[in-house]
Amino acid sequence: MQSGNEGMKVQLVDPAAYTPAYDHALAAALSALGVQVELATAPFAYGQVPEPDGYSRVERFYGGLPGGAGSKVLLAGKAVRHIPDMLRWRRSTKAFDVVHAQWLAVQGLDLHLLSTAKPLVMTAHDVLPREPRPGQVAAQARLWGHADAVVVHTEHGRDRLIAEVGLDPERVTVIPHGPFHHLSQIADPMALPAELEGPGSRGEKPVVLCFGLMRPYKGIDVLLEAWREVTDAELWIVGRPRMDISELQAAAPDSVRFVARFVDDREISPIFNAASLCVLPYREIDQSGVLATALAFGTPLLVSDVGGFPDVAQRGAAKMVPAGDSAALAAAINGLVADPAARERLALSASLLAAGEWSWQRAAELHLELYSRVIASH
């Protein structure tokens, strides 16, 4: 335990429970350094969340609402409860030395509901919305300007906040996204999803994995175009769709298997353990929770040259291809599928990166340095 941090009280805030895995990992890492941490969040509608490890988890938002995940009943309940819950949360911030918001759900409104009594740090998981609603980009930019400091995961994200939002460079801090080791350490994992039953699940063919929420910017169409040139492997596309995938499914060959739904944390371990390669053919990104998951499992990575992905490739933990280039993607997949030694080198570099420069311990140390600065200057 690092001395000198025991008296610091930090409240991490994720009102809509957008990133429970990230929230848990950061809270646990800060707690391990002696910080008193509360995670103020909401019930997670899609499944179980990790048990707190050294920190407290308080559901200060949207508790007890009826309706299932994504239902109109639940969304209506959240709309009614949002302002009262935000105001109650604002009163709770008095007990903490610093408040660190991970996401705010209604940017234009929440700007007026934030407390100014305590130092405010915000994390720009998405620097600016990629699929914005009217007025959302401007509202998000105003939110970043309201914070005492903004955390980004990559130099690419920092450059965007300075150039596109106009933030003072002194207020933007780069702290890499740590690996989700807790997903690889679940004591009672579930069986591999039934949708993936086939040669890949039996070990007869290498598995190439494309994991995470399905969205247009993630280049799944580019991957399927490249897959026409891939032989002797199986492609698993796994995650909840946030777009229409019916045409992609209809055109996919038999060697492609879809799990088009939310995937429970207990399903993740068998999926990644079966994968020979994880591919992220994104058209744009800053940094990715899927990449953080692959690092935790030591899964070889193939990424496109966008956002913060080159940072991983430069450290030897990923092979990189031009975004949108299906021919280059196909050649890289075929090359890695046929070269176990190359995959092993990528896996080793991923594991070293996850245990060192991009570890959660290092991330927590950098957050503590930032908190100390904003407390001193607030």
CA-nearest of 240, 307, 236 to 275 is 236
Q: Is residue 139 domain-shared with residue 124, that is, in the same domain?
A: yes
Q: Is residue 120 domain-shared with residue 227, that is, in the same domain?
A: no
Total domains in the fold of the chain: 2
In a domain, 90, yes or no: yes
Q: Is residue 61 domain-shared with residue 162, that is, in the same domain?
A: yes
Q: List the structure tokens of 143.
A: 């939110």
Q: List the structure tokens of 106.
A: 């209604």
Exposure of 236 by Cβ count < 10 A (0-12 exposed, 13-18 middle, 19+ buried)? buried
Q: Is residue 32 domain-shared with residue 167, that is, in the same domain?
A: yes
Q: Distance between CA 67 and CA 47 in Å, rounded?
A: 14
Q: Is residue 256 domain-shared with residue 306, that is, in the same domain?
A: yes
Backbone φ, ψ for residue 211 (5° rounding):
-120, 150
In a domain, 2, yes or no: no
Beta-carbon contacts of residue 116 (< 8 Å; ≥ 6 apart):
none
* 312-319: long-range contacts, CB 8 A cutoff, minimum separation 24: 312/353, 315/349, 315/353, 315/357, 316/345, 316/346, 316/349, 317/346, 317/349, 317/350, 317/352, 317/353, 318/291, 318/346, 318/350, 319/346
Question: 3-state DSSP helix/strand/coil percent for the chain, to nearest 5?
Answer: 45, 15, 40
Q: Is residue 366 domain-shared with residue 349, that is, in the same domain?
A: no
Exposure of 356 by Cβ count < 10 A (0-12 exposed, 13-18 middle, 19+ buried)? exposed
Q: Is residue 211 domain-shared with residue 125, that is, in the same domain?
A: no
Q: What is the pLDDT of residue 304?
A: 98
Q: Distance between CA 89 and CA 15 in Å, rounded?
A: 9
Q: What is the pLDDT of residue 6?
A: 66
Q: Is residue 161 domain-shared with residue 196, that is, in the same domain?
A: no
* Containing structural domain, residue 49: 9-178+359-377
Which helix (H) or strand (E) segment is 203 a member of? none
In a domain, 3, yes or no: no
Exposure class string for 287-324: b at 16+ Cβ within 10 A, else e: bbbbbbbbbbbbbbbbbbebbbbbbbbeeebbbbbebb
In a domain, 371, yes or no: yes
Q: Is residue 165 domain-shared with residue 111, that is, in the same domain?
A: yes
Q: Distance between CA 210 and CA 344 in Å, rounded?
A: 19
Contact assessment for residue 11 and residue 121, using Cβ atoms and an 8 Å cutoff: no
Backbone φ, ψ for residue 355 (5° rounding):
-90, -10
Q: Is residue 113 domain-shared with residue 193, that is, in the same domain?
A: no
Q: What is the pLDDT of residue 106?
A: 83
Q: What is the pLDDT of residue 367?
A: 98
Contact assessment for residue 170 and residue 176, using Cβ atoms and an 8 Å cutoff: no
Tens-digit pLDDT profile for residues 248-262: 999 999 999 999 999
| CATH code of the domain containing 195 | 3.40.50.2000
Q: What is the pLDDT of residue 142?
A: 85
In a domain, 210, yes or no: yes
CA-nearest of 100, 124, 126 to 114 is 100
Q: Is residue 242 domain-shared with residue 109, that is, in the same domain?
A: no
Contact assessment for residue 78 and residue 106, using Cβ atoms and an 8 Å cutoff: no
Tokens 């769709």 correspond to 241
CA-nearest of 91, 101, 94, 80 to 151 is 101
Strand 149-152 to 234-238 pairing: unpaired
Q: Distance between CA 25 and CA 241 in Å, rounded?
A: 25
Exposure of 325 by Cβ count < 10 A (0-12 exposed, 13-18 middle, 19+ buried)? middle
Contact assessment for residue 268 and residue 241, using Cβ atoms and an 8 Å cutoff: no
Taking the alpha carbons of 62, 66, 71, 72 in that order, is the dihedral positive or negative?
negative
Beta-carbon contacts of residue 329 (< 8 Å; ≥ 6 apart):
222, 223, 226, 279, 281, 302, 304, 321
Q: What is the pLDDT of residue 371?
A: 97
Q: What is the pLDDT of residue 71?
A: 87
For each of the chain's 378 residues, which pLDDT tens digit applies? 444 566 899 999 999 999 999 999 999 999 999 999 999 999 998 888 889 999 999 999 999 888 887 788 998 999 999 999 999 999 999 999 999 999 888 877 888 888 777 899 999 998 887 777 787 778 888 888 889 999 999 999 999 999 988 899 999 999 999 999 999 888 788 889 999 998 999 899 999 999 999 999 999 999 999 999 998 999 999 999 999 999 999 999 999 999 999 999 999 999 999 999 999 999 999 899 999 999 999 999 999 999 999 999 999 999 999 999 999 999 999 999 999 999 999 999 999 999 999 999 999 999 999 999 999 998
Q: Is residue 319 domain-shared with residue 205, that is, in the same domain?
A: yes
